[in-house]
């Protein structure tokens, strides 16, 4: 067994981990769509300047994600999951397109996690049954990217649901968010999707870097640990 580390393989591993974490974070974010109206948050923030304490109001806005939401309940800001019964939750509360989206994106995160583990293991093991670990992981990452894209499309297809109409206005319909604006969760998901496809494309150059003539020369010299950064 050899330990081979190159600049491209290291970059590939790092981007694999970052893309997986980005999509995992996006799924649990309640900030995919942000409503047009704001309200006073339940508690004021304290600002301390030169031994003086000043209270100032903080404004919050209701928002909804693929699985979580934030809204004002009994005067308090409350963020939590609206899927009280999981996928069996009534479609009025948890739109069917969003149920499909959460399944697709969760499957994508699971595959990305497995591929990230394979990417880390590629430092020590470059092939599995004569098949390149880089090629297998890159294919899995490409599949994850497709699942993510389909999940986001399904989320946008659910914008005509009652939940979104109440948040964004009566003009909301599939792929039209009316008065709502895109939130950080949706941008995080988009970033993760782009990064996932980038890692899938980078798997090829990473594979070639670990099997280059320079690496082969070090191995022929009896080295078991090769660093080419």
User: Is the distance from CB of 22 to CB of 155 less than 8 angstroms?
Assistant: no
DSSP state of 173: B
CB 33 within 8 A of CB 177: yes
The 8-class DSSP code of residue 221 comes to T
Instruction: State pLDDT tens for residues 87-142.
Output: 898 988 899 999 999 999 999 999 999 999 998 888 887 777 778 888 899 999 99
Q: Is the pLDDT of residue 47 over 50?
A: no
Tokens for 150, please give them: 């389909």
Residues of the domain holding 175: 3-32+91-228
User: Which residues make Cβ contacts (< 8 Å) with residue 20, sequence separation at least 6?
Assistant: 109, 112, 113, 116, 192
Q: Work out how many domains the chain is built from and give that number.
A: 1
Predicted local distance difference test score (pLDDT) of residue 76? 74
Provide the pLDDT confidence category of residue 225 given band limits of 50, 70 and 90.
Answer: low
CA nearest to 189, candidates 158, 145, 139, 159: 145
User: What's the farthest any 2 CA atoms get from each other in the chain?
Assistant: 72
CATH number for the domain harbouring residue 101: 1.20.140
Phi first, then psi: give them for residue 130, nearest 5 degrees: 70, 15
User: Domain for residue 77, yes or no?
Assistant: no
Note whether residue 102 is domain-resident: yes
Helix (H) or strand (E) holding 228: strand 225-228
Any domain includes 57:
no
Q: Are 111 and 144 in contact (CB under 8 A)?
A: yes
149 domain-assigned: yes
Question: What is the C-alpha to C-alpha distance for residues 79 and 65, in angstroms, rounded to an integer?
Answer: 10
If phi > 0 it is left, if psi is from -120 to 50 it is alpha, else beta; for residue 220 that is alpha
Domain presence at residue 14: yes
178 in any annotated domain: yes
Any domain includes 48: no
Burial 79-96 (b: 16+ CB within 10 A, else e): eeebbeeeeebeeeebbe
Q: How many CA atoms lie within 13 A of 36 on its CB side?
A: 13
Look at the chain and count its residues: 229
pTM, whole model, 2 decimals?
A: 0.86
Give me Rg for the CA atoms of the chain: 23
- Residue 80 in domain: no
Token output for 13? 């591993």
Q: What are the tens digits of pLDDT across the range 191-219?
A: 999 999 999 999 888 888 877 767 777 66
Question: CA 165: distance to chain centroid?
Answer: 25
């Amino acid at each position: 067994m050899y330990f081979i580390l190159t600049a491209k393989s290291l970059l590939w591993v790092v981007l694999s981990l970052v893309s997986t974490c980005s999509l995992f974070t996006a799924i649990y974010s309640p900030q995919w769509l942000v409503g047009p109206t704001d309200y006073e948050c339940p508690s004021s923030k304290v600002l301390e300047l030169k031994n003086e304490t000043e209270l100032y109001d903080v404004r919050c806005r209701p928002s909804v994600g693929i699985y979580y939401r934030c809204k004002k309940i009994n005067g308090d800001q409350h963020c939590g999951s609206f899927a009280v019964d999981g996928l069996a939750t009534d479609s009025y509360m948890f739109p069917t397109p969003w149920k499909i989206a959460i399944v697709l994106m969760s499957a994508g995160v699971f595959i990305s996690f497995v591929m990230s583990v394979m990417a880390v293991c590629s430092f020590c093991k470059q092939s599995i049954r004569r098949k390149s670990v880089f090629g297998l992981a890159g294919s899995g990452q490409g599949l994850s990217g497709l699942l993510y894209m389909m999940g986001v499309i399904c989320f946008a297809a659910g914008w005509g649901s009652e939940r979104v109409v109440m948040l964004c206005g009566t003009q909301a319909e599939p792929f039209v968010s009316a008065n709502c604006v895109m939130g950080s969760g949706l941008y995080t998901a988009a970033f993760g999707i782009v990064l996932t496809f980038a890692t899938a494309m980078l798997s090829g150059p990473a594979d070639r870097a670990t099997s280059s003539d320079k690496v082969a020369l070090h191995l022929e010299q009896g080295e078991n640990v090769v660093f080419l950064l």
